Amino acid sequence: MSEEQWKSVDDYFCEQLLGDSDNSTSPTAAALAATLHASDAAGLPEHNVAPNQGKLLMLLAQIQGARRILEIGTLGGYSTLWLASALPSNGHLDTLEANAAHAEVARKNIASAQLDAKVSVHEGSAKATLERFVERRAEAYDFVFVDADKQNNSSYVELSLALSRPGSVIVVDNVVRDGGVANPNSDDSRVHGVRDMMKLLAAHPRLDATAIQTVGSKGYDGFALLRVR
């Protein structure tokens, strides 16, 4: 099994299921391409989810019937476009980004995709923003996507939980990192962020959780899926 093979299968799935014949609520192929192009031109890292992962997020949010979505880690807004496309007309998405340059690129991309009426980009440290939301007793989120600095995953799960309701769904990206997650002696602080989160989930009285490995155009990684009791 080679990375080349994973990529050609992803290309095939994307051609079949995400092309111009996609009549779902998906963002247009043009909007998605423009977002990646603008992100690349601005020098952003290619840390966006893959197209078929983005559509998975959209479908999960729709299956959940999400009206309020929280995203932690915006980058150029690629996953934001997918998640916002899951929303009904009265829905809203709050996305959190620490890097001002990333937030600016994202705001432009979200506006170009005509999703700015449904999306707020909150610039600043995600922890500080989330703590502010908790203080304000923000209305519960139905769906949360955690995809920022992996070192803070446990805090993001706890704060997301404080902003959730029974039945809320939390998806966490990048929980496998080329298999690094299984190495207790890793020298990568991101791996320890994921492992600390797993320890939290293992004993958590209010969360049911699983995790799944993925291969594809973004290499070997995976998602954790959490449901609030």
Minimal distance in Å, beta carbon 177 to ligand DHB?
8
What's the N-to-C CA distance of the chain in angstroms?
38
From the list Mg ion, ligand DHB, ligand SAH, none, pick the one residue 141 interacts with, judged by a Cβ distance below 5 to 8 Å according to partner type. Answer: none
Q: How many residues does the chain have?
A: 229
Distant-in-sequence, close-in-space partners of 16: CB < 8 Å, separation ≥ 6? none
Minimal distance in Å, beta carbon 39 to ligand DHB?
13
d(CA 85, CA 208): 26
d(CA 92, CA 185): 41
Minimal distance in Å, beta carbon 78 to Mg ion?
10
Contact between 69 and ligand SAH by CB under 6 A: the answer reads no
Pick the closer one to ligand SAH by CB: 78 or 223.
78
Kind and range of the H or E element at 220? Answer: strand 219-228
From the list ligand SAH, Mg ion, ligand DHB, none, pick the one residue 98 interacts with, judged by a Cβ distance below 5 to 8 Å according to partner type. Answer: ligand SAH
Pick the closer one to ligand DHB by CB: 142 or 173.
173
Nearest residue to 194 (alpha-carbon basis) of 212, 179, 176: 176
Contact between 147 and ligand SAH by CB under 6 A: the answer reads yes
Residues of this chain that bind ligand DHB (CB under 6 A): 47, 147, 173-174
Distant-in-sequence, close-in-space partners of 187: CB < 8 Å, separation ≥ 6? none
Q: Which of residues 171-200 bind Mg ion (CB under 5 A)?
A: 173-174
Minimal distance in Å, beta carbon 209 to ligand SAH?
20
Alpha helices in the chain (DSSP H): 3-17, 29-41, 51-63, 78-84, 100-112, 126-135, 153-162, 189-202
Q: Which residue in the set 146, 148, 169, 172 belongs to the binding site for ligand SAH (CB under 6 A)?
A: 148
List the strands of the sheet with 119-123, edge to edge: 119-123, 92-97, 68-72, 141-146, 164-173, 219-228, 207-216
Q: Which of residues 118-157 bind Mg ion (CB under 5 A)?
A: 147
Report the residue closest to ligand DHB, judged by CB.
47
Q: Segment contacting ligand SAH (CB under 6 A): 75-83, 84-92, 196-204, 214-222?
A: 75-83
Contact between 27 and ligand SAH by CB under 6 A: the answer reads no
Residues near ligand SAH, by CB under 6 A: 47-49, 73-75, 78-79, 96-99, 102, 125-126, 147-149
